[in-house]
Chains A and B, each alone.
Chain A
Amino acid sequence: MKIQTPLTKEKIKNLKAGQTIYLSGTIYTGRDSAHKRLKELYDQGLDLPIDLEDQVIYYVGPTPSKPGEVFGSGGPTTSGRMDAYAPLFISLGMRAMIGKGYRNEEVKKAIQEHTGVYLGAIGGAGAIISSCVKSATVVAFEDLGPEAIRCLEIEDMPLVVLFDSDGNDQYEFGKNDYLNNKGK
């Protein structure tokens, strides 16, 4: 299934855990330090450098791009480290997160409450994912290097719905489905 950003609540509602989707459009990158800074700006009552409404944040710190290349190798980083910040950003309108690995209960609760979604990119598949990136521009926190916030234009990035707005978790479902049906 192909899907285009921005991700409205209507689009999100149709996404179900286990589904493979191909995402196109504008997304933002951001990981540990960028999240910390965004939270600090929010706590001080200052404007954030990006408008989160219906936006997607990809947890990634790419390798430097070679001359002539748009984006370096860029697979997902472990999402759990962003759990401390995610519920706040979801409440501010952020609709989707792309990463890998477990999320805590607060994040899952926020996803259900605000109709969000957690999408999985395959850990380590940095070269393949890079080939989906058509442009990349640093939009905030340039001094953070690989951790700076970049605006990416992507085309058909392959992703799996890991946690949907109805509360279904592919990490639980996939394991049990395999054990109950295929593992015998």
Chain B
Amino acid sequence: MREINCQLITTTIKDMCIQANCHLPSDLQQRITAFHQAEDYSLAKDTLQVLIDNATLAKEKRMPICQDTGMVTIYITIGQEVHIVGGSLEQAIQQGVREGYEEGYLRKSIVSDPVFDRKNTFDNTPAVIHYTLVEGERFDIQVVPKGFGSENMSQVKMCKPSDGIEGIQAFVYDVVKSAGPNACPPMVIGVGIGGTFDKVTQLAKKAMIRTIGSNHPDERYALLEKQWLEAINGMGIGPAGYGGKTTALALHIETFPTHIAGMPVAVSICCHVARHTEVSL
């Protein structure tokens, strides 16, 4: 049995919220630089240069890369041999978000009621938390703040098995086209396929934060990832939607077994600031 104190969890999440919002992950940074070099449309090239400069300035000044510091999703992977001490795990996590958004001068964008009151909670809580229980003594935290310019462009569709690959592909392309400049391209696209109505959206979001350049372990899906990314970058939308080659930086697919009668598909669209940090305690 391993003990982990709530205070450590709060402090870690506080730091992760600030880190995620002010530092572009290195895999994304490298991908943007590579696409900048390959871009041949001048307005697109200039736009990508601004994004590179923006990330550099944000890091130097410890300033958020983007003003929409988002709603936070937190993934906790917890070993069954771990004992949380010193308080409530749920409260420790929310307190970490609260402190991170205050100390990091991050924008508080959460409203307490979605329809009637829409009053700002003024501490960016609650975060959405997902727990995965595993064997052993692991305690892993992923913090994923995501802005709503791109979150609003994400979609889910309950495809029929007969829709096949073509049906999924057409849906993915439609979502990207309708997102267009609204989603702050170049985008990072997560595609979830399988599971249930709720599971598939989680797959899509997890796919979005996978390391850029990693492929689906099944080479048939890995091929789709490559082909769909190429096709999307042939649409001409370009950085900021001003036209160009770089519409998406990456496209990742995550899959899960599903029911004989269904083929759920979800597309999680993220802007070029696909913020995420990971820490193992």
Contacts and interface: CB of A to CB of B under 8 A. Distances in A.
Contacts of A128: 50, 53-54, 57
Nearest to A173: B243
Given A20-B46, A128-B53, A175 B236 contact: yes
A174 B43 contact: yes
B240 interface: yes
Interface string B216-258: 0000000000000000001111111111110000000000000
Contacts of B47: 122
Interface centre among A80, A171, A173 (most CB of B within 10 A): A171
Contacts of A113: none
Given A123-B271, A127-B57, A72 B236 contact: no
Contacts, number: 160
Interface residues of B, number: 49
Which interface class (under 10, 10 to 19, 20 to 34, 35 or more) fits A?
35 or more
Contacts of A167: none
Contacts of B149: 77-78, 100-101, 123
Contact of A126 (B65, B181, B242, B243): B65
Interface string B151-195: 010000000000000000000000000001110100000000000
B235 A175 contact: yes
A124 B182 contact: no
B63 A73 contact: yes
Interface stretch (B6-14, B83-91, B106-114, B261-269): B106-114
Contact of A125 (B41, B51, B69): B51
A39 B65 CA distance: 32
Contacts of B146: none
B116 to A, nearest CB: 14
B51 A122 contact: yes
B105 A175 contact: no
A30 interface: no
A131 interface: yes
A75 B40 contact: no
A125 B50 contact: yes
Interface centre among B55, B58, B108 (most CB of A within 10 A): B58
Contacts of A62: 67, 107
B61 interface: yes
B137 interface: no
Contact of B107 (A64, A66, A124, A179): A64
Contacts of A170: 242-243
Contacts of B143: none
A147 B120 CA distance: 11
Nearest to B59: A127
Contact of B182 (A60, A100, A131, A174): A100
Interface in B28-44: 40-41, 43-44
A179 B238 CA distance: 11
Nearest to A123: B184
B234 A183 contact: yes
A63 B242 contact: no
25 contacts: A18-B43, A63-B69, A64-B106, A64-B107, A66-B105, A73-B63, A73-B107, A78-B152, A100-B184, A101-B149, A122-B51, A123-B240, A126-B66, A127-B57, A127-B64, A130-B63, A160-B240, A170-B242, A175-B235, A175-B243, A176-B236, A176-B243, A178-B236, A178-B243, A178-B245
Which 6 interchain pairs have the tightest Cβ spacing? A174-B243, A123-B184, A101-B182, A175-B236, A73-B64, A127-B58
